[in-house]
C-alpha cells in the first residue's frame, strides 16, 4: 500500500495507543461497547472517505468556489454534494453523540483523530459537518428535550447542517456591540431582526435545512455581553410532525470571497427584513435557548470545542503539506552537495541538502507536536465527561480551559509556518498550482482568524485563564510538566538534558506571569499578551515532545528515530526562543502603549 500523503497513520496510532493510551477509556461504562478494533475501523473508514471522496475534489472545490445563481441559490460542484453524502452514509456525523440520540458514543479523541483525515483531504468541504457537529452538541447540552428532538437530531443524523451566527458587520469579534434584536411574541417564540456577517456555511443547498444559532438582544437587555441571548433560527420552519414548512425570514445577501477554505460558503445574512419571504411574514422566527441574557455562555460551549477543532484543522493542513514536501524532496533531484562537487556527477535528491533537511525537520516538529497537542486536549474532553472521579473530571475540565487558547492558536501559527516551509521545499513549483502546497497554505492562513483571532486567544489566556481560581489551572499544568521532567531525568541521556531546559522554561513562565500582574494593571499586563501566548505555547509543545520522547525511549526503527530527531530539533531550535519573549514580557515594555497611532 502506498504511503498516504494525507495523514500519517503510524503517528496517529503512536499518539493514541502508545502515548495517550486511549484503550483505558474502554473501562468506562460510557465506552464499554467499543474496543480497539472499533477505533481502528473508524480510522480506516475516515481514511477511505478522505482518499476516495474528499481529496479528489479539493482542487475543484477551490477553483470552482460557490456562487449565487440566478434563482438566488448557492451553486457548488456536484462532487461536494457527493462527498458529503458519502460521509453522512458512513454514520460518522453521529460518532460522538450518545446512543440514545442515534450516535456511536465514540470517544472524542478517536473522533478527532479520524476527522484529521477529512480535514487534511478537503477542509473546506469537511467544514459543513464539522460546524453541524458543534451546533448539535450545543443544543444537546443546553436545549430543551423538544428542541433537541426537533433541531439537533436531524443534524446528528446528517440530514441538516448548522451554523453559529455571532459576528456582525459593524462589530466583528466585539460581540458586546452586536445589535441584532429579538422580540418575544404571544406564542412564546421570538422575531429576530438584524444582519450577521462571516457566517460559515450560512447558506447552501447541501442539506434539507440549516439550523442557525443566533446571538441577539432582547428589549431592555443589559449592555455588553451580559445582555446577549441565544436563539434557534431555522432556514425553513419546522412543523409539529418534524416536516419542513415555509421559508423563514433568513436571507442570503451575499458571499464573501476568501483566499482559502473556498468550498465553505462564507455569508452575509439578514434576519427579519422580508427578503426571504416576499409578500409574506416579516421577522425571522427564533426559539430561545435556555434563559435570556445567558446566550454567550451557551455559545462558548460550541466555540471552545470549535477552537480546539480549528487547531486540529491547522494541524491537518500543516501535516499533509509536510507529507507532500517530504515526498517531493525524496523524489526530486537537484544540484549537488559540498561533498559531491563534481559537475559531472548526477544530481542528488533534495533531502541530501542540509537546509532542506532543516526545513523538513522543522515541519515535522511543528505538525507532530501540534497533533499531540490537539489530541491531548481531545482526550481532556473525554476525561471531563466520563471520568468517574469527580475531582479528576474537574481537573481535566480546568486544564482543557487553560489549554484551549493554546490549542487553537499554536497550530494556527506554527503549522501555517510548516505550510510556508513546504512551499519553500518545492522551490519555484511551490507557489504554482502544479502542486497542492500553495492551496494548503491559503487554506491554513484563515485559521489564525477563525473562531477568535490569535490576539483574542492571547487575551483569554493571560487575562482570564491563568488567573482563574487563583491560578489553579496554571499550577495543574505545572504539575503535569514536572511529572514528565522527573520521568525524563530518571531516563537519563538527552531526555534528562531536555527536562532541565523545560523546567527552567516553565519556571520562567510562572515568574513572568507574576511580574505581569504584580501591579494589578490589566492594560500594562496585557499589552504584549500575544508574546505570552507564543511563549506558553512553545513550552507546552516542548512538554508534549518530551512525553513522546519518553514513550519512544530506545525503541528501534525509523519511526522512533524520527521522533527522537524531531524532539532534538524542538529543544535545540524552538524552546530557546521562549527566553527572549519572556524577558521582553518581564521588562513590562510599553512601546505599543506609548505609540501615537497617527505616526503609523
Looking at the annotation, which residues are catalytic?
Answer: 451
State how far the Cα of 440 lies from the Cα of 327, in Å rounded to an integer. 16
State how far the Cα of 227 lies from the Cα of 528, in Å rounded to an integer. 30
Helix (H) or strand (E) holding 268: strand 266-271
State how far the Cα of 178 lies from the Cα of 170, in Å rounded to an integer. 8
Nearest CA to 570 among 358, 290, 255, 412? Answer: 358
Nearest CA to 379 among 480, 460, 461, 447? Answer: 480
Return the SS3 of 132: helix
- Cβ-in-10-Å burial (0-12, 13-18, 19+) of 170 comes to exposed
Cα angle for residues 372, 378, 381 (degrees, 5° grid): 145
| Phi and psi torsions of 213, nearest 5° | -105, 110
Report how far Cα 487 is from the mean position of its chain's Cα atoms: 30
Question: DSSP assignment of 472-490, as one string?
Answer: HHHHHHHHHHHHHHHHHHH
CB atoms within 10 A of CB 153: 19
Nearest CA to 363 among 351, 352, 375? Answer: 351
Report how far Cα 133 is from the mean position of its chain's Cα atoms: 13
Return the SS3 of 173: coil
- For the chain, the C-alpha Rg in angstroms (whole number) is 25
Q: Is 399 left (phi over 0), alpha (psi -120 to 50) or beta?
A: alpha
User: What cell was used for 512?
Assistant: 513572568
| Phi and psi torsions of 360, nearest 5° | -70, -40
Residue 266 to residues 127, 253, 261, 430, 480: CA-CA distances in angstroms?
11, 11, 9, 27, 40
Return the SS3 of 332: coil
Strand partners, 284: 192
DSSP 8-state code for residue 4: P
Instruction: Tally DSSP H helices, then E strands, for the chain.
Output: 19, 12
DSSP 8-state code for residue 222: P
Amino acid at each position: 500500500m502506498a504511503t498516504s500523503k494525507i495523514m500519517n497513520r503510524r503517528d496517529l496510532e503512536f499518539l493514541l495507543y502508545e502515548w495517550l493510551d486511549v484503550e483505558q477509556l474502554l473501562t468506562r461504562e460510557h465506552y464499554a461497547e467499543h474496543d480497539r478494533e472499533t477505533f481502528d475501523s473508524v480510522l480506516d473508514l475516515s481514511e477511505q472517505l478522505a482518499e476516495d471522496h474528499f481529496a479528489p475534489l479539493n482542487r475543484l472545490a477551490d477553483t470552482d468556489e460557490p456562487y449565487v445563481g440566478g434563482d438566488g441559490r448557492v451553486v457548488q460542484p456536484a462532487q461536494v454534494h457527493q462527498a458529503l453524502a458519502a460521509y453522512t452514509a458512513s454514520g460518522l456525523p453521529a460518532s460522538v453523540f450518545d446512543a440514545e440520540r442515534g450516535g456511536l458514543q465514540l470517544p472524542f479523541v478517536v473522533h478527532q483523530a479520524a476527522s484529521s483525515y477529512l480535514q487534511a483531504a478537503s477542509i473546506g468541504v469537511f467544514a459543513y459537518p464539522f460546524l453541524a457537529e458543534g451546533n448539535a452538541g450545543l443544543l444537546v447540552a443546553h436545549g430543551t428535550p423538544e428542541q433537541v428532538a426537533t433541531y439537533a437530531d436531524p443534524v446528528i443524523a446528517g440530514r441538516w447542517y448548522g451554523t453559529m451566527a455571532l459576528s456582525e458587520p459593524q462589530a466583528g469579534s466585539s460581540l458586546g456591540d452586536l445589535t441584532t434584536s429579538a422580540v418575544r411574541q404571544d406564542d412564546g417564540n421570538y422575531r429576530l431582526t438584524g444582519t450577521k456577517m462571516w457566517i460559515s456555511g450560512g447558506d447552501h443547498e447541501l442539506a434539507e435545512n440549516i439550523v442557525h444559532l443566533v446571538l441577539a438582544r432582547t428589549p431592555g437587555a443589559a449592555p455588553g455581553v451580559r445582555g446577549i441571548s441565544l436563539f434557534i433560527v431555522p432556514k425553513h420552519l419546522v412543523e409539529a410532525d418534524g416536516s419542513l414548512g415555509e421559508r423563514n425570514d433568513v436571507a442570503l445577501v451575499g458571499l464573501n470571497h476568501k483566499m482559502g477554505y473556498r468550498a465553505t460558503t462564507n455569508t452575509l445574512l439578514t434576519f427579519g427584513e422580508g427578503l426571504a419571504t416576499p409578500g409574506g411574514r416579516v421577522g425571522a422566527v427564533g426559539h430561545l435557548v435556555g434563559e435570556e441574557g445567558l446566550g454567550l455562555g451557551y455559545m462558548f460551549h460550541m466555540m471552545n470545542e470549535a477552537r480546539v477543532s480549528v487547531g486540529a484543522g491547522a494541524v491537518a493542513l500543516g501535516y499533509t503539506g509536510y507529507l507532500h514536501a517530504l515526498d517531493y524532496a525524496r523524489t526530486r533531484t537537484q544540484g549537488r552537495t559540498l561533498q559531491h562537487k563534481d559537475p559531472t556527477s548526477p544530481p542528488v535528491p533534495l533531502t541530501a541538502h542540509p537546509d532542506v533537511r532543516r526545513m523538513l525537520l522543522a515541519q515535522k516538529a511543528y505538525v507532530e507536536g501540534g497533533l499531540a497537542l490537539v489530541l491531548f486536549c481531545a482526550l481532556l474532553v473525554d476525561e471531563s465527561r466520563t471520568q468517574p472521579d469527580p475531582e479528576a473530571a474537574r481537573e481535566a475540565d480546568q486544564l482543557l480551559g487553560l489549554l484551549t487558547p493554546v490549542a487553537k492558536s499554536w497550530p494556527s501559527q506554527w503549522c501555517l509556518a510548516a505550510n510556508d516551509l513546504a512551499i519553500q521545499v518545492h522551490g519555484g513549483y511551490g507557489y504554482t498550482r502544479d502542486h497542492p502546497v500553495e492551496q494548503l497554505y491559503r487554506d491554513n492562513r484563515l485559521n489564525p482568524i477563525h473562531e477568535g483571532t490569535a490576539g483574542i486567544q492571547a487575551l483569554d489566556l493571560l487575562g482570564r485563564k491563568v488567573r482563574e481560581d487563583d491560578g489553579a489551572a496554571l499550577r495543574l499544568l505545572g504539575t503535569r510538566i514536572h511529572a514528565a521532567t522527573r520521568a525524563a531525568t530518571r531516563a537519563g541521556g538527552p531526555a534528562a538534558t531536555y527536562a532541565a531546559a523545560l523546567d527552567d522554561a516553565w519556571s520562567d513562565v510562572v515568574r513572568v506571569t507574576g511580574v505581569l500582574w504584580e501591579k494589578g494593571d490589566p492594560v500594562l499586563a496585557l499589552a504584549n499578551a500575544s508574546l505570552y501566548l507564543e511563549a506558553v505555547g512553545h513550552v507546552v509543545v516542548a512538554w508534549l515532545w518530551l512525553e513522546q520522547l519518553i514513550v519512544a525511549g530506545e525503541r528501534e526503527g525509523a519511526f522512533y528515530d524520527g521522533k527522537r530527531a524531531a524532539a532534538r530539533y524542538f529543544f535545540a531550535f524552538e524552546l530557546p526562543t521562549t527566553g527572549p519573549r519572556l524577558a521582553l514580557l518581564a521588562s513590562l515594555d510599553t512601546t505599543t502603549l506609548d505609540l501615537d497611532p497617527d505616526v503609523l
